[in-house]
A and B are shown apart, each in its own frame.
Chain A
Amino acid sequence: KAGVTQTPRYLIKTRGQQVTLSCSPISGHRSVSWYQQTPGQGLQFLFEYFSETQRNKGNFPGRFSGRQFSNSRSEMNVSTLELGDSALYLCASSRTSGRGGDTQYFGPGTRLTVL
């Protein structure tokens, strides 16, 4: 079974631009969570989508948004990029989304650099 895929793997943008990242979960998985990883803050939760609905949202500004399609693929968008948005963005796929959470499988990540 194929793992979680993320595209693109690397991205360079300038301040003020916007960016869209894509994640395809493991086949049969309906939950997709997004995380931002930086050296100083570690892994921080952005949001989770389950069956096309945002289920949870972390403490990030409204410039960060996402969506999920009927085939469970998900995209996240960051508008008006800031230098501090430079990070590794990780997508995690889970079969379900219930009490206590479910095992998450991470994709390879998208490395975003904002100049």
Chain B
Amino acid sequence: QKEVEQNSGPLSVPEGAIASLNCTYSDRGSQSFFWYRQYSGKSPELIMFIYSNGDKEDGRFTAQLNKASQYVSLLIRDSQPSDSATYLCAVNLDTGNQFYFGTGTSLTVIP
């Protein structure tokens, strides 16, 4: 059973719309949750992280965590063509920097 699952997409949204990316995880002991963006041919770059239930906002990005449902999501408001990338969800179970990554959701923002 995969620890972290994401819809692989591709997800297409028009420019200016809200993109919603979802991630579920299997281990209830998961401690922290990170979202990374990866452009084709590049390495992942951190968008934001969340530790507690609820919403966390950073600019156009909002991370939502629901530990009871084992669900974390990322909302991108006012999507731009430059947001077109693969978005990776990463989960940390306990101690140290061992993260489990989903296989990523490919997002395309159409101008």
Chain A: residues with CB nearer than 8 A to chain B?
31, 33, 35, 41-45, 48, 50, 55-56, 58, 90, 92, 94, 97-109
Between A44, A45, A55, A104, the greatest number of chain B beta carbons within 10 A of the residue's beta carbon is seen for A104
Check B80 for interface membership: any CB of A closer than 8 A. Answer: no
State whether A90 and B96 are in contact (beta carbons under 8 Å apart), knowing that A42-B104, A43-B101, A100-B51 are contacts in the complex: no
Tell me if B98 is interfacial: C-beta within 8 Å of chain A. Answer: yes
Q: Given A56-B96, A56-B98, is A103 in contact with B45 using a C-beta cutoff of 8 Å?
A: no
Q: How far is the CA of A105 from the CA of B44 in the complex (A)?
A: 8
B residues less than 8 Å from A50 (CB atoms): 96-97
Q: Which residues of B contact A109 (CB under 8 A)?
A: 43
Q: What is the CA–CA distance of A33 and B45 in the complex, to the nearest angstrom?
A: 15
B-to-A contact residues, CB < 8 Å: 31-32, 34, 36, 42-46, 49, 51, 88, 90, 92, 94-104
B98–A105 contact, CB under 8 A?
Answer: no
Q: Are B104 and A104 in contact (CB under 8 A)?
A: no
Contact between chains at B32 and A101 (CB < 8 Å): yes
Residues of B contacting A97 in the complex (Cβ-Cβ under 8 angstroms): 95-97
Let me know if B88 and A43 touch, CB within 8 A. yes
**Which residues of B sit under 8 angstroms from A102, Cβ to Cβ?**
97
Q: What secondary structure prevails in chain A residues at the interface with B?
A: strand
| Contact call B44/A106, Cβ cutoff below 8 A | yes
Q: Is the CB of A90 within 8 A of B95?
A: no
Q: Complex: how many Å from CA A94 to CA B49? A: 14
Interface-central residue, A56, A97, A100, A105, by most chain B CB under 10 Å: A100
A94 to B95, CA, bound (A): 13
Apart from A42-B103, A43-B88, 18 more pairs, CB < 8 Å: A42-B101, A43-B44, A43-B101, A45-B99, A50-B96, A56-B97, A58-B98, A90-B44, A92-B97, A98-B96, A100-B92, A101-B31, A102-B97, A103-B34, A103-B46, A104-B34, A104-B46, A107-B43
B30 to chain A, nearest CB (A): 9
A33 and B44 within 8 A (CB): no
